[in-house]
Chain A
Amino acid sequence: MTTLDGVRLVARRELVERTRDRSFLISTGVTLLILCAFIVVPKVFFSNRTPTWDIGLVGGGSAALAGPLGQQAPLVGAKVRVRHPADLAAAETGLHDGDLDLAIIDGNQLLAESDPDDQLVALVQAASRTARAQAALAEANLSDQQIQSALAPPPLPLRTREASDPQRKANRAIALPAVFLLYGQLIGYGIMVASGVVEEKSTRVIEVLLAAIRPLQLLAGKIVGVGLVGLLQLLLVGGIGLTVAVSIDAVDLPPGAFATLGLVLAWFLLGYSFYSVLFAVAGAVVSRQEELQNTATPLNLVLVASFLGAISAIGDPNGPIAKVTSFLPPVAPLTMPVRVAGGDAAAWEIVVSVLITLAAIALLVPLSARLYAGAVLRTGARVKLRAAWTASRG
């Protein structure tokens, strides 16, 4: 049996046992629900859907407003349905029953049930001004064409200094659930590695295992196996979430959604490689699950701080905090995807950040592996890192 065979066996056990466990299904379901909530809820409650207003025109003086209302509604992103209640009483009933949003009485008074929409009022006021101006200009014997060019000049063209990209906004929006997902997976699967190590220590199965294979094989197998479970869950959650959303056409996914999923998977691998070995050490120095809280807390805090950094990077992806932290290995796995998703990171920045993270992983893995090997067979009191370091002779 080669070294790799041992690693493969351990990894396969982790993968099989953990995916067979009911808690895997539960956590996948919960994550999926949270992700769907992230995608669906903002669309339902905060979307810029075109509002439709029902406006009742009462009396002859109001009729002139119908034309300008229809012309100007699209300018404020709204639709207007013009109604013609028979009289004031009918308009009041319509307002009361919600059939009308606003009534215009004789062209010189507005009537609403309660506080009307500000945009609606602004639209009607503008239409009213136009109608009055039209009437005044007509009295001054101007032709219809002259009136038209005076009242509806061509709109001013808008020029942006940066190329305008409406998708970019949407991609930044999807960075939020992506960061949540990444953070949840990194902390969840890091803890899973740590508690898996403690389980082997507290049940003493570690002695049976290490009589057959080396500590490094066990560590590598565990990290690879748990990592695969985490990756599989991300694929399931991301894949199912996006596929369902697309197939039932429930939401308009930004075009970058699938690319963002790939981004999340890639940075999960980098972040998990960085954190999992540290979590393994946190597990190896204690003997019981209850003690794990103490040793895992510093790592949890770093992850929480990184998460907050990433959230702030969503708001200001090119600010100094976002820029600096996207190169710091503990934080980069959470902030860099945000900047990449929004198209805010230059290609060289991405390359440098990945290289720094890889270098940090390359440095961390042998250090952590040595600490793990030195601590994992010691039971009883918490093992000091220095003792673990010297106990392990290579």
Chain B
Amino acid sequence: MLQLKGLTRRYGDLVALDDLSFSVAEGQMFGFVGPNGAGKTTAMRIVLGVLEPDAGEVFWRGRPIDEQTRKRIGYMPEERGLYPKMRVRAQLEYLAQLHGLDPPAARRSAGHWIERLGLAERAGDRVEALSLGNQQRVQLAAALVHDPELLVLDEPFSGLDPVGVDVLAGVLQAKTAAGTPVIFSSHQLELVERLCEAVAIINKGRLVASGVVAELRRAGRRRHFQVGVAGAAADWATAVPGARVVDEPAGNGRVLLELDAGTDEQAVLDAARAAGRVTHFSSAEPTLADLFRQAVQA
């Protein structure tokens, strides 16, 4: 289990992380989401020891992360990092050795990931000669080449075409299936929802919500209602006190309402009936995107 405990980091007056704590279980696919500048990259850099926290600690399997355990983490930084002039195979072997593999093991592992990620034909090319998509594959291979116990990936899906997304998702799922936890940050919330068992949502350096996605959605259920009203004015819902329109699905005329804390759903139903003939009224699970918006706006 990876545990972040009370991480705090300031840059001058700016508080990038404010007492951030959450944990990632063994074998879990964990999404790390938040708006730009929320502190995701800072948190990941601290996990990798690239950055020192002002306060707080990171634990891996119950012990504070030190230099030796850090070598067993696979890391993909936000802005990709490879030597542009170095050849793919040489670069992967070098990075594997830096992480402690002996030369034969490094050669085997580099060869394995070059095959697995479809880079065999480009293995002798300089990284700068590759397409951006292929560079991203090399970057992924660089994070995987030392067979890490934990993967920390900063925006691994950004800039990938749909095929690349599938390849990457397949590799990550195989890793979690083998027991290796994967934590990655992303703006693509549908993707996070599809892939991740658990998430942490942060905003302005603070944790807003974290846990298993299914539980978070169930917890949000009491507050989201899907309502269909026939014969009402298009904007009837905006007039309901204590409720907000989250989503307006086209076609069936139903709207998704989010109720403020303390608002009685019966009052909403009364308002709906006053507006027209109620054809549908049900509690709904919010999507991750709904939870995210809710968290960020709070």
Contacts and interface: CB of A to CB of B under 8 A. Distances in A.
Interface in B84-125: 84-86, 90, 94-95, 97-100
Interface residues of B, number: 28
B191 to A, nearest CB: 23
B73 interface: yes
Interface in B15-56: 45, 48-52
B173 to A, nearest CB: 23
Contacts of B81: 203-209
Contacts of A16: 90
B268 interface: no
Given A1-B71, A1-B100, A6-B98, A207 B82 contact: no
A214 B68 CA distance: 11
Contacts of A206: 81
Interface string A210-233: 111110000000000000000000
A193 interface: no
A208 B97 contact: no
A10 B95 CA distance: 10
B84 A207 contact: no
A9 B94 contact: yes
A17 interface: yes
Contacts, number: 60
Given A203-B83, A205-B82, A377-B51, A211 B97 contact: no
B140 to A, nearest CB: 12
B70 interface: yes
Interface residues of A, number: 24
A209 B49 CA distance: 11
B75 A208 contact: yes
B73 A211 contact: yes
Contacts of B100: 1
Contacts of B80: 204
A208 B80 CA distance: 9
A349 B80 CA distance: 52
A203 B95 contact: no
A13 interface: yes
B98 A9 contact: yes
B79 interface: yes
A208 B52 contact: no
A214 B83 CA distance: 18
A156 B1 CA distance: 98
A328 B79 CA distance: 44
Contacts of A214: 67
Contacts of A200: 83
Would you call the interface of chain A mostly helix, strand, loop, or mixed? helix
A161 interface: no
B77 interface: yes
A386 interface: no
A205 B90 CA distance: 15
Contacts of B49: 210-211
Contacts of B189: none
B84 A203 contact: yes
A159 interface: no
Most chain A beta-carbon contacts within 10 A, residue among B48, B67, B98? B98
Nearest to B80: A204
Contacts of B82: 203, 205, 208
B100 to A, nearest CB: 5
A329 B97 CA distance: 37
A205 B81 CA distance: 4
A258 B140 CA distance: 51
A393 interface: yes
A209 B86 CA distance: 14
A207 B75 contact: yes
B94 A208 contact: no
Contacts of A6: 98
Given A13-B94, A203-B83, A212 B77 contact: no
A211 B79 contact: no
Most chain A beta-carbon contacts within 10 A, residue among B48, B49, B81, B100? B81
A205 B128 CA distance: 13
A208 B95 contact: yes
A194 B85 CA distance: 17
- Ranked 9 nearest A-B pairs via Cβ: A204-B81, A205-B81, A207-B77, A211-B48, A212-B98, A208-B81, A1-B100, A211-B75, A204-B79
Interface of B: 45, 48-52, 67, 70-71, 73, 75, 77, 79-86, 90, 94-95, 97-100, 142
Interface of A: 1, 6, 9-10, 13, 16-17, 21, 199-200, 203-214, 377, 393
20 contacts: A1-B71, A9-B97, A10-B98, A16-B90, A17-B83, A21-B85, A200-B83, A203-B83, A204-B77, A204-B81, A208-B75, A208-B77, A208-B81, A208-B95, A208-B142, A209-B81, A212-B70, A212-B99, A213-B98, A393-B52
Given A9-B94, A21-B85, A210-B49, 13 more contacts: A17-B83, A17-B86, A204-B77, A205-B81, A206-B81, A207-B50, A207-B77, A207-B81, A208-B82, A211-B70, A212-B71, A213-B98, A377-B51
